[in-house]
Amino acid sequence: MTMFSIPSSWATCWEKLQNFKLESLFARNRGQGTPRTIYINQDVPSSYLDAKGRPRKEYVYCTNQVITSKYTIITFLPRNLLEQFRRIANIFFAFIAILQFFPQFATISPGLVILPLLIVLGITAVKDGYEDIKRHQSDRHVNHSRVRVLTGGGWTNPNFTGAKSRTFVRGVVSKARPKRLGAHKADVETGTPTDAERDTDVEMDEGISMPDGKHHHHLFNGDHDVVRAHWKKTLWEDVRVGDFVKIVNNESIPADILICATSEEDNVAYVETKNLDGETNLKSRNASPVLADLRTAADCANKLNAFHVDCERPDTNMYKLDATVSRGSDRSPVDLQMVLLRGTVLRNTDWVIGVVLFTGEDTKIVQNSGGTPSKRSRVERQTNPQVFINLAILAAMATVCGIADYKIESRLYPEGAPWLYGDDTSGDNPGINGFITWAFALITFQNIVPISLYISVEGVKTCQALFIYFDYEMVDKKTGQPTLARSYNLSDDLGQIEYIFSDKTGTLTENSMLFRECSIGGVVYYGDRESEPDPEAQQIGDDNNRASAPLATGVKLSCGVPEHFKDKQLSQDLASAIDAEPGSDNAAHARSLNGFFSVLALCHTVLAVVDPRTGAIEYKAQSPDEAALVQAAADVGFIFCGRDKDVLKLKTPFSMEVERYQLLNILEFTSARKRMSVIVRKLDEADSRLFLLTKGADSVIFERLKAGGDELKQTTEQHLDDFAGAGLRTLTLAYKVIPDDEYEAWRERYQDAVTSLEDRGGKVEVVYDEIEQELRLLGATAIEDRLQDGVPETIADLKLAGIKIWVATGDKLETAIAIGHSTNLIADDSNIIVIRGGDWGRLVSEQLVQALEDFFPGSDVLKDDFARLGTSQYRESQTPYAMRRLSTGVTSLVGEDNGRRPGGYVLVIDGAALGQALSDDQHKKLLLSLGTQCEGVICCRVSPLQKALVVKLVKDGLHTMTLAIGDGANDVSMIQAADVGVGIRGEEGLQAVNSSDYAIAQFRFLKKLLLVHGHWSYARNGTMILNFFYKNIVCIGVLWWFQIYCGWSSAYAFDYTYLLFWNSFWTIAPVLGIGLFDRIVDADILMAFPELYRYGREQTWFTMKSFCGYMLDGVVQSVPLYFLVTYAYFTTTARSDGYDIALDEYSTTMVFASVTVACLYNGLNTNVWTAWVFGAVFIGIILLWLFTVVYNSISPGWFVTDVYGNNHFLFRSAYFWLCLPLTITISLLPRYLYRAWQLGYAPGDLEILRYIRKKRPELDIAKACRLAPHHQQSRTSSRRRPSSRISRPLSLASTVGGTPTDRSVDHASADHPRPQDIRRASRTDMSTGVRSVDRGFDFATEEGGVAIRRIQTGLSERWQSSRHLPLAETEPSVKKKSSMRIFSSLRRKKPPTPNKDS
- Please write the tens of the pLDDT for every residue from 600-621: 999 988 888 887 777 888 887 7
The lowest-confidence range among 891-905, 1111-1125, 1252-1266 is 891-905
The pLDDT value given to residue 1223: 95
- Which run of H or of E encompasses 432? helix 430-444
Coil/strand/helix, residue 681: strand
Task: Judge contact between 621 and 606, C-beta under 8 A.
Answer: yes
- pLDDT of amino acid 134: 80
- Say if residue 378's pLDDT is above 70: yes
1010: Cα within 13 Å, side-chain hemisphere: 36
pLDDT at 900: 54
pLDDT value of position 7: 57
The CA dihedral of 509, 515, 517, 519, to the nearest 10 degrees, is: 130
- Tell me what pLDDT residue 1202 has: 80
Contact 927, 871 (CB under 8 A): no
Residue 198 has pLDDT above 60, yes or no: no
Give the strands of the sheet with 962-966, arranged side by side: 484-485, 998-1000, 980-984, 962-966, 499-502, 804-808, 936-940, 905-910, 831-835, 1322-1325, 1330-1332, 884-885
* pLDDT value for 812: 73
Residue 200: the pLDDT is 61
Name 1110's bridge partners.
none
Which residues partner with 1391 through β-bridges?
Answer: none
Instruction: Give 1271's contacts (C-beta < 8 A, 6+ positions apart).
Output: 1311
H-helix or E-strand spanning residue 1177: helix 1171-1191
CA 816/CA 826 separation, integer angstroms: 10
Nearest-angstrom CA–CA distance, 361 and 1252? 58
Q: What percent of the chain has pLDDT over 90?
A: 30
At 831 the pLDDT is: 87
Q: Is the dihedral of CA 360, 361, 366, 367 positive or negative?
A: negative
H or E stretch covering 633: helix 624-635
**Model pLDDT, residue 1311:** 36
Residues 6+ apart with CB under 8 A from 523: 573, 589
* Helix or strand holding residue 694 (H, E): strand 690-696
Q: Among the residues of 1242-1382, which ranges form H helices?
A: 1245-1255, 1261-1265, 1275-1279, 1346-1362
- pLDDT confidence of residue 372: 67
d(CA 426, CA 436): 13
Measuring CA to CA, which residue among 717, 721, 697, 571 is closest to residue 632?
A: 571
The string of pLDDT tens digits covering residues 1078-1110 is 999 999 999 999 999 999 999 999 999 999 999
d(Cα 61, Cα 930) in Å, to the nearest integer? 43
- Dihedral sign computed on CA atoms, order 1100, 1101, 1104, 1106: positive
Query: Which H/E stretch holds residue 261?
Result: strand 256-262
Q: 279 Cβ partners below 8 Å, 6+ apart?
A: 273, 505, 810, 811, 1340
Mean pLDDT of 480-500: 91
Query: Mean pLDDT lowest for which of 751-760, 1014-1023, 1241-1250, 1261-1270?
Result: 1261-1270
C-alpha–C-alpha distance, residues 1359 and 1255, integer Å: 84
Mean pLDDT, the chain, rounded, equals 78
What residues does 735 pair with on adjacent strands? 693, 776
Highest mean pLDDT among 447-461, 649-663, 833-847, 1100-1114: 1100-1114
**DSSP letter string, 895-959:** -TTTT--TT-EEEEEEHHHHHHHTSSHHHHHHHHHHHHHSSEEEEES--HHHHHHHHHHHHHHH-
DSSP-assigned letter for residue 768: H
Q: Which residues are catalytic?
A: 503
Helix-helix angle 110-143:76-84, to 10 degrees: 120
Going by C-alpha positions, the residue among 1122, 1101, 1108 that lies closest to residue 1034 is: 1122
Tens-digit pLDDT profile for residues 1156-1166: 999 999 999 99
318 DSSP 8-state letter: T
Rounded to whole angstroms, the Cα distance separating 695 from 701 reads 8
Torsion of CA 147, 148, 151, 156, to 10 degrees: -60
**How much is the average pLDDT of 38-42?**
92
- The answer, yes or no, to whether residue 709 has pLDDT greater than 60, is yes
State in Å, rounded, how far the first CA of the chain is from the last one: 107
Residues contacting residue 796 through CB under 8 Å, at least 6 positions apart: 824, 1282, 1283, 1284, 1286
Q: In angstroms, rounded to a whole number, what is the distance separating the alpha carbons of residues 398 and 1094?
A: 41
What is residue 16's predicted lDDT score, i.e. its pLDDT? 59
| Span 1359-1369, pLDDT tens digits | 655 554 444 34
pLDDT digits (tens, 9 = 90+) for 521-554: 999 998 887 544 443 333 333 333 333 333 334 7
Is the separation of the CB atoms in 499 and 806 below 8 Å?
yes
Which residues are within 8 A (CB) of 698 and not within 5 positions of it... i.e. 6 or more apart? 716, 717, 720, 730, 732, 780, 888, 1335, 1337
Q: How confident is the model at residue 204 (pLDDT cuts 50, 70, 90)?
A: confident
- Across-strand partners of 781? 518, 731
Q: In whole angstroms, what is the distance from residue 841 CA to residue 836 CA?
A: 8
What whole-number distance in Å separates Cα of residue 637 and Cα of residue 656? 12
Q: What is the mean pLDDT of residues 230-258?
A: 92
Question: Distance between alpha carbon 787 and the CA centroid of its chain, in Å?
Answer: 16
pLDDT at residue 170, rounded to an integer: 43
pLDDT on residue 455: 83
Residue from 812, 814, 837 nearest 912 by CA: 837
Give the integer Cα–Cα distance in Å for 47 and 53: 10
The more confidently predicted of residues 1102 and 760 is 1102
Burial of 1285 (0-12, 13-18, 19+ CB in 10 A): middle
Instruction: Please report which confidence band the pLDDT of residue 169 belongs to, taking 50, 70 and 90 as the band edges.
Output: very low
pLDDT value for 577: 85
Give the residue among 204, 164, 330, 326 at the shortest CA–CA distance from 258: 326
Q: Hey, what amino acid is at 54?
A: R
Query: Could you tell me the pTM of the whole model?
Result: 0.75
Bridge partners, 499 (sequence order): 804, 962
Distances in Å between the Cα of 28 and the Cα atoms of 25, 86, 171, 174, 370 are: 8, 22, 8, 8, 12
Residue from 1108, 1128, 1126, 1129 nearest 1118 by CA: 1126
Nearest by Cα to 295 from 263, 325, 327, 265 = 263
* Residue 96 pLDDT level (bands cut at 50, 70, 90): confident
Q: How far is CA 160 from CA 189, 245, 1075, in A?
A: 6, 17, 56
- Strand 268-272's sheet: what is its strand order? 282-286, 268-272, 345-347
